[in-house]
Amino acid sequence: MQVGVDYFIEKLHSEHQTSRFSMGPDADLRPLKSFIQRNALDFQTSNVAVTYAAIVPPDPNDPQARKRVIAYVTLTCSEIDLDGAYPLEDCEAANRYQSISALKVARLATHSSYAGHQIGKTLMEFAIALAVHQVAQFVGCRFLVTDSKANSVAFYQNKLGFTLLDTEENRNREHPVMFLDLNKLDLNAPADAEGEPEGNAQEAEPA
């Protein structure tokens, strides 16, 4: 395991190396590997979804070296059907609508060799900042949403402040919907440096 990882975050582009991206032996995680290697750029150029990657800088002594993707988060426009479980107290007129605008975390994954370095958590914090300071400043976007793996629910709740949509149908889903109310964020709160879902991976089709 690396003591520390030197990386930066930038929008995915064709110069990034994705061929070595691995999710380990878990067959359930293979679609996350396949997506970053085969589909992410097509989704991006087609304006279906945008991917931001954690990048390891290339070796300056190797002229053939490329920036290498070690984790990524994919974002897409979406909506959330709150089903009356979370009325908006600051905009009661909006409660008559079935769905409210949202930005969706469609995919989140970390290379298996870099698990445990909080890179997935950092990418989620990047997505939150992007939603608050960019997306919500120009279009209506009240929530950041994701379809969580069941074993990651506690991580999203306790470490990132997400709320599980409290309906019976959602609680029984394999990948329950979770949301973060962007209007109720305390942007001055200190970050919690602990915890990351095991494997730091999820998959959800862009809405």
Per-residue pLDDT in tens (0 to 9) along the chain, 207 residues: 455 789 999 999 999 999 999 999 999 899 999 999 999 999 999 999 999 999 999 888 777 789 999 999 999 999 999 989 999 999 999 999 999 999 999 999 999 999 999 999 999 999 999 999 999 999 999 999 999 998 899 989 999 999 999 999 999 999 999 999 999 997 665 555 455 554 444 554 443
Domain span at residue 61 reads: 8-203
Residue 3 lies in a domain: no
In a domain, 1, yes or no: no
Residue 204's contacts (CB-CB under 8 Å, 6 or more residues apart) are 104, 105, 106, 107, 146, 147, 175
The tally of domains found in the chain comes to 1
Amino acid found at 26? D
- 176 in a domain, yes or no? yes
